[in-house]
Structure 1
Amino acid sequence: MWKWEAEGQPKAVIAIVHNAYEHHRRYAWLIQKLRNGGFHVVTTDLPGHGSESGRKIHDEPFESYIDHVKKMIDIALHDNLPLFVLGHGLGATIVMHILQREKLECAGFIFSSPWLSMKHQPSKFSGVLTKLSSSMKLNHDITIELLTRNTDMYIEFQNDRDYSSVVVTSWYREMHSMMKSIMYHEESIYDTPILVHTGEEDKITDISYAKRWLLKQQLSEFHYKEWKRLYHDLYQEPEREEVYLYIESFMNNILRSLGYIV
């Protein structure tokens, strides 16, 4: 677990749950923006991800991701400040799954580009996935060009030895099972403020599922934003400053409603 303290007086804590295949260092820009905005930031690398794991093939049970995220949230609550949870991609999906199981003591949630229906599949095996051995390797082959239009990120990403989209078939099946369980869950999550935002030109997921999920929930406060022209990684896009201001406004409005001076 890692924690960065706010510049000046903190007004809240934000816990970041990263996407599949990557690690927390890809959020360095966002972390600094949040610190400048008065937020403590807590994050972690999911099991099997990041430099400490040393893994190049993902075969981790999804329950290990869930347990890890819940521990991070518990740590973030120790500051006795309002807590927001930001989940991106599969990270958003994991937090959604937790919310179906239990109530988290959070001020609000931000879900960007959640994985609820995949547009980009492993090309060679997508049609025969159910027939493959559980231990067979698949390359999801999510490249930087599919994630962002920001060419400044391309060199940095291509030199990233800790990014790997190679998985075993059982991992990929479990991912699809989690997505289906979220979309077909009949009961609403508990009433809590939620922002879901996606990129109009997302190459990885079918963004219509994110909107459908949000509208199914019986929430008194929710926001949906579809960013024109943007790809999957909203916090890496050329317009990321605008994206940041949008999520900061969401959090500040909630803090005001809770009686905090922002």
Structure 2
Amino acid sequence: MQESKFSFHLYGSEIFGCHVEPKVVTGVVVLVHGFGEHSGRYKAAVIPILTDLGLGVVTYDNIGHGKSGGKRGHCPSYEALLDILATVIDKAKELHPKKPLFLYGHSMGGNLVLNYALRRKEDFAGIIATSPYLRLAFKPPKWKMFLGKMLLKVLPSVTLPSGLDANGISRNPEEVTKYQNDSMIYDAVSPMYSFPVMDAGEWALANAHTLNCEALLLHGTRDQIIDHTATIEFHQKASNTTLKLYEGGYHELHHDLCKEAMLEDIHKWLKERI
């Protein structure tokens, strides 16, 4: 197993990336993390499942996250997030030309990979979206929404506490503690990061019927952060998706009590398509 790092400059920031390559490569996955976290949190559970299938894995820390540059919790625009993802996809193609290319996104990463496929119409071997951020599972206070929309017009880069309860990520208290003690996790978000992502989730739901590649959608039924019924809605509107629901599962399924079953479902779905 070989691991190498890379970086590139875009939108005035240096974006950190990493590539893990098995001895025999059957395909490649671009993995996109969720909001406030970083790509390193997928090394223990998710990446070994992918490399076991002979898949090279290309990860990156999004702008304003992890080891990448940019103001913490802020991005220039939603299009910037898609452009950064496009650059990483090009890197994956450069590393593994003519190999099947999959996208894997969690939470906000799920929002990005689904929107990327819907908007830019590239040919992918498949998409995996875990707990995709299509709609919040709770309603933020009205005053916070009003203030955020005002700030989006006048101070789009100012960051405010996200209000995320770390206990909602997993039923495993050890995973919650790891999350809370991770110095690279950031719990604040700018209006430019939050509102365009919310809008993109609704746009994806409205346009799910135009998805032109296969997708595996996975969600826990007790996700207190992202609404699992929105994932069901996306599945019902699309014609080529597979839906896996995990009874009682929390937001980070790959860190939850059901992670073995969830990772086995991903392994099986990918194996059938390589």
In structure 2, give the amino acid aligned to 1:49: H
Give the total of aligned pairs.
Answer: 251
In structure 2, give the amino acid aligned to 1:92: G
User: Are residue 140 (structure 1) and residue 156 (structure 2) matched?
Assistant: no
Partner of 2:57: 41
Partner of 2:220: 199
Aligned counterpart for 1:77 among listed residues 89, 93, 102: 93
Deviations 1:27-74 (A, max 9, x none): 111113322332211111111111332743424422111011111112
Q: What does residue range 59-98 of structure 1 map to in structure 2 within 5 Å?
A: 59-78=75-94, 79=96, 80-98=98-116
State the SS of the aligned residue for 2:88: helix
Aligned counterpart for 2:118 among listed residues 91, 96, 100: 100
Shift of the 143–101 alpha-carbon distance from structure 1 to 2, 3 Å rule, reads: same
Q: Deviation at 1:239?
A: 2.4
Aligned counterpart for 1:243 among listed residues 262, 271, 274: 262
1:157 & 1:205 partners in 2: Cα distance?
17
User: Are residue 179 (structure 1) and residue 201 (structure 2) matched?
Assistant: yes
State the SS of the aligned residue for 2:65: coil
Higher deviation after alignment, 33-42 or 122-131: 122-131
Q: Which runs of 5+ in 1 are unaligned?
A: 256-262
The percentage of aligned residue pairs carrying the same residue is: 25
User: Are residue 4 (structure 1) and residue 20 (structure 2) matched?
Assistant: yes
Q: Deviation at 1:240?
A: 1.4
Shift of the 175–129 alpha-carbon distance from structure 1 to 2, 3 Å rule, reads: farther
Q: Is the 8 A contact 2:169 2:176 kept in 1?
A: no
CA RMSD of aligned residues (A): 2.1
In structure 1, give the amino acid aligned to 2:64: G
1:67 & 1:127 partners in 2: Cα distance?
27
Partner of 2:28: 13
2:233 & 2:92 partners in 1: Cα distance?
30
User: Are residue 154 (structure 1) and residue 173 (structure 2) matched?
Assistant: no
In structure 2, give the amino acid aligned to 1:18: H
State the SS of the aligned residue for 2:175: helix
Partner of 2:232: 211
Runs of 4+ in 1 over 6 A off after TM superposition: none
Partner of 1:165: 187
Q: Is the 8 A contact 1:150 1:238 kept in 2?
A: yes
State the SS of the aligned residue for 2:256: coil
Shift of the 124–28 alpha-carbon distance from structure 1 to 2, 3 Å rule, reads: farther
Q: Which runs of 5+ in 2 are unaligned?
A: 1-16
Higher deviation after alignment, 227-236 or 35-44: 35-44
Q: Is the 8 A contact 1:14 1:39 kept in 2?
A: yes
1:124 & 1:199 partners in 2: Cα distance?
27
Shift of the 238–129 alpha-carbon distance from structure 1 to 2, 3 Å rule, reads: same
Higher deviation after alignment, 173-182 or 65-74: 173-182
Partner of 1:53: 69
Shift of the 57–121 alpha-carbon distance from structure 1 to 2, 3 Å rule, reads: farther
